């Protein structure tokens, strides 16, 4: 007997039975689970510089230090300034750039941007000349003495750009004595040259020991342009106080100040020039401490004494230089004298360096020769 149609075990045509789902994680019992709290991200060792990278950086540093040490000994350079220059222009930017590229390859973009920004910023600081300027103009803050001997007076004056200045004026007994202006070195101030002024005064000269902006406790930041403005203002003091025309003043300078005296001579001032421990240019001095391309990039205040003095053919030059000078090498003084030919004279002080040039007994001989040269017609 037929019991009627039976239900088929298969689904109707066109309908698909859902596949059985794979077993998953058990549902949490009870109330719905709270969202997971975000904690401090754990340190991922893969993001830190590995031993190879650290070894590479250490190798860079050792190669730089060892190579520069050998190079500086071979060339007779001062070690510390060269280390600063090469670090500023080569080592630090390269290491920062290398770390930035490594981070970029690892897709750590924030760290890469930071490293590359520091590399560009450090190189920009070096190229701006501020690093070398800080070395060139340390700015001795010793002020002028409050108590001065007879015939020595403090003179306050102002440069053409409004910079306040002050210096020491030493008057000779003879009103017709030659008038000298003296520009000091970078590690001293006008106040530390009281004895120098007194010695030249005893040798029968009027002397004005000038000060630079940023030195001797004065405000301002030294630059080549600023120092030359300060020098022109000092010449104005001698003209006002002693009646000596600027073109009749004897321009004198030591070390850094030698470039200022030479620069003023190149501008048409002065009748004679006396330089102590001079250089051909600041760039040439820097090239004795680091490779010349780095020196050329680093120096913004060039004070090219050779170019200034060779631009005039009517100014006699007298140079005093110690043959063991390691700050401003003796060879630069020789080169400067050679560039001027017969109108320049080099007085070599044997076995003397940079800072002891004016010490006695040879100091007395220098002052006597200096004053004699200033009095010559």
pLDDT by residue (tens digit) across 185-203? 999 999 999 999 999 999 9
Q: Can you tell me the mean pLDDT for 225-246? A: 97
Distance CA 293, CA 105 (A): 32
Torsion (CA) 49, 52, 58, 59 in degrees, nearest 10: -150
- Does pLDDT of 352 surpass 50? yes
Q: Does domain 152-375 have CATH number 3.40.50.1820?
A: yes
Distance CA 139, CA 243 (A): 31
What percent of the chain stands above pLDDT 90? Answer: 57
- Does pLDDT of 84 surpass 70? no
pLDDT score of 294? 74
169-190 pLDDT per residue, tens? 999 999 999 999 999 999 999 9
Tally of residues, the chain: 377
363-377 pLDDT per residue, tens? 899 999 999 999 998
Which 3-state string (H, E, C) describes the chain? CCCCCCCCCCCCCCCCCCCCCCCCCCCCCCCCCCCCCCCCCCCCHHHCCCHHHHHHHHHHHHHHHHHHHHHHHHHCCCHHHHHHHHHHHHHHHHHHHHHHHHHHHCCCHHHHHHHHHHHHHHHHHHHCCHHHHHHHCCCCCCCCCCCCCCCEEEEEEECCCCCEEEEEEECCCCCCCCEEEEECCCCCCHHHHHHHHHHHHHCCCEEEECCCCCCCCCCCCCCHHHHHHHHHHHHHHHHHHHCCCHHHCEEEEECHHHHHHHHHHHCCCCCEEEEECCCCCHHHHHHCCCCHHHHHHHCCCCCCHHHHHHCCCCCCEEEEEECCCCCCCHHHHHHHHHHHHHHEEEEEECCCCCCCCCCCCHHHHHHHHHHHHHHCC
| Residues linked to residue 170 through DSSP beta bridges, in sequence order | 152, 207
Distance CA 26, CA 24 (A): 6
61-80 pLDDT per residue, tens? 676 666 666 665 565 555 56
10-44 pLDDT per residue, tens? 555 544 555 555 555 555 554 455 555 555 555 44
316-331 pLDDT per residue, tens? 999 999 999 989 999 9
Distance CA 142, CA 144 (A): 7
Dmax (CA) for the chain in angstroms is 158
Helix, strand, coil percent values for the chain (each to nearest 5): 45, 10, 40
Q: Can you tell me the mean pLDDT for 273-293? A: 90
Which position has the higher pLDDT, 296 or 353?
353
pLDDT score of 166? 98
Q: Can you tell me the mean pLDDT for 281-285? A: 95
pTM of the model: 0.74
- Does pLDDT of 116 surpass 90? no
List, as one string, the DSSP characters of 192-232: GGHHHHHHHHHTT-EEEE---TTSTT--S---HHHHHHHHH
Question: What is the residue-averaged pLDDT of the chain?
Answer: 83
Domain boundaries, the chain: 49-127, 152-375
Which pair of structure tokens corresponds to residue 213?
């902006």
The radius of gyration of the chain's CA atoms, rounded to the nearest angstrom, is 36
**DSSP annotation of 173:** S
**What region, left, alpha or beta, does residue 271 occupy, with left being phi > 0 and alpha being psi -120 to 50 degrees?**
alpha
Distance CA 299, CA 119 (A): 20
pLDDT score of 43? 45
Distance CA 357, CA 252 (A): 15
3-class DSSP assignment, residue 111: helix
- Does pLDDT of 211 surpass 50? yes
Distance CA 375, CA 377 (A): 6
Distance CA 251, CA 157 (A): 19
| Sign for the pseudo-dihedral over CA of 123, 127, 130, 131 | positive
């Amino acid at each position: 007997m037929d019991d009627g149609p039976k239900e088929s075990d298969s689904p109707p045509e066109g309908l698909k039975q859902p596949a059985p789902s794979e077993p998953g994680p058990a549902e949490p019992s009870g109330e719905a689970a709270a969202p997971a709290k975000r904690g401090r991200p754990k340190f991922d060792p893969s993001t830190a510089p590995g031993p190879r990278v650290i070894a590479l950086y250490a190798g860079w540093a050792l190669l730089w230090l060892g190579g520069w040490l050998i190079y500086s000994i071979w060339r007779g350079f001062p070690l510390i300034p060269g280390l600063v220059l090469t670090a500023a222009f080569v080592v630090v930017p390269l290491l920062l750039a290398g770390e930035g590229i490594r981070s970029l390859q690892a897709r750590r973009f924030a760290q890469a941007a930071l490293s590359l920004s520091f590399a560009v910023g450090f190189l920009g600081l070096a190229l701006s000349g501020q690093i070398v300027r800080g070395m060139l103009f340390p700015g001795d803050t010793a002020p002028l003495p409050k108590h001065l001997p007879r015939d020595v007076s403090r003179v306050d004056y102002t440069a053409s750009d409004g910079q306040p200045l002050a210096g020491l004026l030493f008057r000779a007994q003879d009103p017709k004595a030659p008038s000298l202006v003296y520009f000091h070195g970078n590690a001293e101030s006008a106040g530390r040259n009281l004895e120098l002024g007194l010695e030249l005064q005893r040798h029968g000269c009027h002397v004005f020991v000038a000060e630079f902006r940023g030195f001797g406790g004065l405000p301002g930041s030294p630059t080549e342009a600023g120092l030359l403005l300060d020098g022109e203002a000092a010449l104005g003091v001698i003209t006002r106080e002693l009646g000596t025309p600027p073109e009749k003043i004897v321009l004198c300078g030591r070390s850094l100040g030698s470039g200022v005296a030479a620069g003023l001579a190149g501008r048409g001032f002065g009748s004679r020039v006396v330089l102590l421990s001079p250089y051909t240019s600041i760039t040439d001095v820097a090239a004795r401490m680091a490779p010349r391309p780095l020196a050329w990039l680093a120096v913004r205040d060039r004070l090219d004494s050779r170019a200034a003095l060779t631009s005039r053919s009517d100014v006699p030059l007298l140079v005093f230089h110690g043959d063991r000078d390691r700050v401003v090498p003796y060879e630069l003084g020789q080169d400067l004298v050679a560039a001027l030919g017969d109108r320049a004279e080099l007085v070599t002080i044997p076995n003397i360096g940079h800072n002891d040039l004016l010490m006695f007994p040879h100091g007395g001989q220098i002052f006597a020769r200096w004053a004699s040269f200033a009095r010559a017609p």
